[in-house]
Amino acid sequence: MTGTGEPSRAVAPRRVPPRPLPVAVDTMGGDHAPEEIVAGAVDAVREHDVRLVLVGKAARIRRELDRYGYVGKIPIVHADEALDMGEGALASWRKPRSSIAIACHLIKQGRASALVSAGSTAGVVATSRLRLKGQQGVMRPAIAVTLPTRPRPTILLDAGATADVKAETLVQFAALGTAYAQILLGPDRPTVGLLNIGAEAGKGNKLAKRAHELLAGGNHGIEFAGNVEGHDLLSGRVDVIVTDGFTGNIALKTMEGTIGAAFTEIRDAMTASPAARMGALLQRRRLQDLRDRLDPDTYGGGVLLGLNGTVVIAHGASHARAISSACELAHRLAAGRIVERIREQVAATRTSRFGRWTHGERDGRESPERAEGAAKPPAETPPPPREPAGDTVPDRKEPPAVP
């Protein structure tokens, strides 16, 4: 009873969503590994309170952590091998004990929620596909990248995971991008555009025309906004832009090169004379905001969607800031249950209009013949290496505790 004589009402405790498992960071991948990778990981823990586990050669990781006073504060899992930046898809078979393979093993064991790597894109994609497998019903994975549009970013996929696709695959890419945009951008019904050579429905090659027909048919949970052209990539017209990996990778690198060249011209113009330097000084804050918005390091990298685990692929030349952003992105996606979101969204696209999805991932397996550069798989995947004593994480089933 309350003081007014009215019966008291029990207040249900507010449900706090469970904190995601740690993000596994491949410390050996990238042009500046492990120094910049560990520095970015420390920043992610210190500034963003992201739980991490560092995978790689334990002695080198411990040396880098000692520079920041973080020895014993971030768990370490030892890996005997590392993929070189020049290695391609075959490295996933040649080096079964690489840091990327061990990180994927942690995800499969339920000891990590996601993987962050700045290693070779071909190596990361091939190893992740081999170890994590594709989600049930997903025909092909796709790399989603964030474009610096206004008023909010735009998602572009595929940026290079699958070069040759079918029209039905593009419909699935739209489903993957929709699930990703719901978590990253917030809207319940993100708009999706198909990258083409014209806005009209009849434009494009056979692949684009058929994909447009399927997407425009509806009944698949995708808010299709029609075709978009190359000049729409940075216009913010839609939330998600879908294309094949060959076209998407060319479009992405063309934009990166154009933005870099434009900034070089702007810098030269602003330092050409004393008056120009004075004007640049007065506009310093706005110029810095523009630089931050267009800097790829702000967005953390691309996300490989469609696997039984979250994989964030940072740029090979990433420095600490990019790695910190990638760790924060991986944590955010894991907290938003991106794998479950994709499963639900893909299921919504499996209508009779598209027929059956016929692919190895239906039962969680992918035939090696269809993987890029596949070789004969070993009879048995070797277990992860025995981890050295100290502050490394013991090989147990429960997730590692982060101090």
Q: What integer pLDDT is reported at residue 46 of this predicted model?
A: 92
Q: What is the dihedral of CA 91, 96, 100, 105, to 10 degrees?
A: 150
Is 109 in contact with 121 (CB distance < 8 Å)?
no
Q: What integer pLDDT is reported at residue 144 of this predicted model?
A: 94
Q: What integer pLDDT is reported at residue 18 of this predicted model?
A: 65
User: pLDDT class for 312, splitting at 50, 70, 90?
Assistant: very high
User: pLDDT class for 292, splitting at 50, 70, 90?
Assistant: low
User: pLDDT class for 297, splitting at 50, 70, 90?
Assistant: low
Cα 371 to Cα 72: distance, rounded to the nearest angstrom: 39
- 3-state secondary structure at position 141: coil
pLDDT digit string, tens, across residues 342-380: 988 888 776 434 444 444 333 333 433 334 444 444 444
- Please give the helix or strand (H or E) that residue 168 lies within, else none: helix 167-184
pLDDT digit string, tens, across residues 241-287: 999 999 999 998 888 888 788 878 877 887 888 887 787 777 777 77
User: pLDDT class for 9, splitting at 50, 70, 90?
Assistant: very low
pLDDT digit string, tens, across residues 391-402: 544 444 444 444
User: pLDDT class for 382, splitting at 50, 70, 90?
Assistant: very low
- Rounded to the nearest integer, the mean pLDDT of the chain is 81
Residue 345 vs residues 188, 219, 302, 348, 382: alpha-carbon distances, Å: 12, 12, 20, 5, 34
pLDDT digit string, tens, across residues 90-118: 777 888 899 999 999 999 999 999 999 99
Average pLDDT of span 152-167: 91
Residue 210 clears pLDDT 60, i.e. is over it = yes
Q: Where are the beta strands (DSSP E) in 229-284?
A: 240-242
- Of residues 196 and 83, more confidence is placed in 196
Read off the tokens for 369: 């013949």
Q: What integer pLDDT is reported at residue 269 of this predicted model?
A: 81
